[in-house]
Amino acid sequence: MIQTYKTLIESLSFDAATEQELLKEQVLQEHYFYLHLVLYLSPAYPSVPEPVKKKLGAAVYLYFRFALACDKMIDQEKSTNSGIQQFFVQIRLLEAAVRELSALFPSGHVFWQYFEKSRTEYIRTMLVEKKLAGEGGYITVEQFEKLAAGKSALCYAVPIAISLLQDTAEMATDSLQRCLEYLHIGFQYMDDIDDFLKDVKSGQPNIADSLLRKKLEEEGVSGTLAEEERYKLMFLSGVATACLQNAITWFEKSRAEIASFSLAKLDGFITGFVKKCLDQLRAIELLIEKARVKASCSKEQVAGGAYAGAEAIRSAIEKGRAFLAAAMQGDGSWTDFLTNAGLGRNWITAYVAMNLAEAGEVAVIPDKAAELLNSSHFKGAFNDQIKEDGDSLNFLVGYLNSSKGTVSNNLWQDWRSFCNDAGGWRTYQDADVLKRILGLEDVADVSGWLSAKSCVSAAALYVLAKQDGDSVLYHRTAGFLMNEQMPEGYWKSYWWSSPVYATAFALQALSVSRTYQQACAKAADWLKSQQAANGAWSSDIVVEESPLYTAMAMKALLCYNTSLYDNSIRQACKWLLDNQTTDGSWQSSFALLVPAPDFHESEAVQQWSRGSFGVNIIVEDHYRVFSTATIVNALECLLEKKIQLN
DSSP per-residue codes, 423-459: S-B-S---HHHHHHHHT--TT---HHHHS--HHHHHH
Q: Indicate whether 170 pLDDT > 60.
A: no
Q: Indicate whether 622 pLDDT > 90.
A: yes
Question: For residue range 73-124, what is the model confidence (pLDDT) as tens digits?
Answer: 665 554 455 556 677 787 888 888 888 899 999 988 989 999 999 989 998 9
Contact of 53 with 42, CB cutoff 8 Å:
yes
> β-strands 590-594, 617-620: how paired?
antiparallel
Q: Measure Cα distances from 360 to 113, 391, 452, 640 in Å.
A: 83, 23, 31, 10
Q: Indicate whether 220 pLDDT > 80.
A: yes
Q: How far apart (Å, rounded) are the C-alpha atoms in residues 547 and 256?
A: 54
Average pLDDT of span 1-24: 84
In angstroms, how far is CA 374 from the centroid of its own chain? 31
Nearest by Cα to 392 from 320, 482, 495: 495
Hey, what amino acid is at 384?
A: D
Average pLDDT of span 240-244: 96
Per the domain annotation, does 415 fall within a domain? yes
Contacts for 148 with CB less than 8 Å, ≥ 6 apart = 184, 185, 187, 188, 189
pLDDT computed for residue 177 by the predictor? 92
The residue count for the chain: 646
CATH value at residue 536: 1.50.10.20
Contact of 370 with 403, CB cutoff 8 Å:
yes
pLDDT computed for residue 78 by the predictor? 46
Q: Indicate whether 227 pLDDT > 70.
A: yes
Torsion sign across C-alpha atoms 631, 637, 639, 643: negative
pLDDT computed for residue 9 by the predictor? 85
pLDDT computed for residue 442 by the predictor? 83
pLDDT computed for residue 168 by the predictor? 54
Rounded to 5 degrees, φ, ψ at 536 are -95, 160
Average pLDDT of span 552-559: 97
Contact of 553 with 489, CB cutoff 8 Å:
no
Nearest by Cα to 429 from 441, 411, 417, 443: 417
Q: What single DSSP character describes residue 308?
A: -
Query: Collapsing DSSP states into helix, strand and coil, what is residue 620?
Result: strand
Q: How far apart (Å, rounded) are the C-alpha atoms in residues 586 and 300?
A: 10
Q: Half-sphere exposure (CA, 13 Å, Cβ side) for 260?
A: 6
> β-strands 342-344, 537-538: how paired?
unpaired
pLDDT computed for residue 29 by the predictor? 84
Alpha helix (H) residue ranges in 328-469: 346-357, 367-373, 390-402, 409-416, 431-438, 447-450, 454-467
Domain span at residue 588 reads: 297-641
Number of domains composing the chain: 1
Nearest by Cα to 414 from 425, 422, 399, 402: 425
Average pLDDT of span 129-146: 86
Per the domain annotation, does 15 fall within a domain? no
339 vs 173, higher pLDDT: 339
Q: Indicate whether 362 pLDDT > 50.
A: no
Nearest by Cα to 516 from 488, 485, 552: 485
CA angle, corner 332, sides to 326 and 337, nearest 5? 75
Q: For the chain, what is the mean pLDDT?
A: 90
Residue 566 is inside which H or E element, if any? helix 566-578
Average pLDDT of span 37-44: 90
In angstroms, how far is CA 393 from the centroid of its own chain? 22
Least confident of 77-81, 277-281, 325-329, 590-594: 77-81
DSSP labels, 75-142: HHT--SHHHHHHHHHHHHHHHHHHHHHHHHS-TT-THHHHHHHHHHHHHHHHHHHHHHHHTTS---HH
Q: Measure Cα distances from 274 to 91, 234, 236 in Å.
A: 36, 20, 22
Q: How far apart (Å, rounded) are the C-alpha atoms in residues 554 and 537?
A: 9
Question: Helices (H), strands (E): how many in the chain?
Answer: 29, 7
Average pLDDT of span 545-550: 97
Nearest by Cα to 564 from 616, 533, 523, 513: 523
pLDDT computed for residue 646 by the predictor? 60
Per the domain annotation, does 588 fall within a domain? yes
Contacts for 6 with CB less than 8 Å, ≥ 6 apart = 23
Q: How far apart (Å, rounded) are the C-alpha atoms in residues 143 and 166?
A: 37
Q: In this structure, how many other beta carbons lie within 10 angstroms of the beta carbon of residue 622? A: 22
pLDDT computed for residue 47 by the predictor? 87
Hey, what amino acid is at 165?
A: L
Output the pTM of the full model: 0.80
Q: What single DSSP character describes residue 342?
A: E
Torsion, CA 432, CA 437, CA 438, CA 443, rounded to 10? 20
pLDDT computed for residue 275 by the predictor? 93
pLDDT band at 645; cut points 50, 70, 90:
low
pLDDT band at 522; cut points 50, 70, 90:
very high
Q: How far apart (Å, rounded) are the C-alpha atoms in residues 423 and 370?
A: 31
Hey, what amino acid is at 176?
A: L
> What percentage of the chain's residues is helix, strand, coil (to nearest 5)?
65, 5, 30
Question: For residue range 41-61, what is the model confidence (pLDDT) as tens digits?
Answer: 989 888 888 999 889 998 888
Q: How far apart (Å, rounded) are the C-alpha atoms in residues 242 and 234?
A: 10
Q: How far apart (Å, rounded) are the C-alpha atoms in residues 193 and 208?
A: 6
Contact of 244 with 211, CB cutoff 8 Å:
no
pLDDT computed for residue 120 by the predictor? 92
Nearest by Cα to 612 from 624, 604, 620, 603: 620
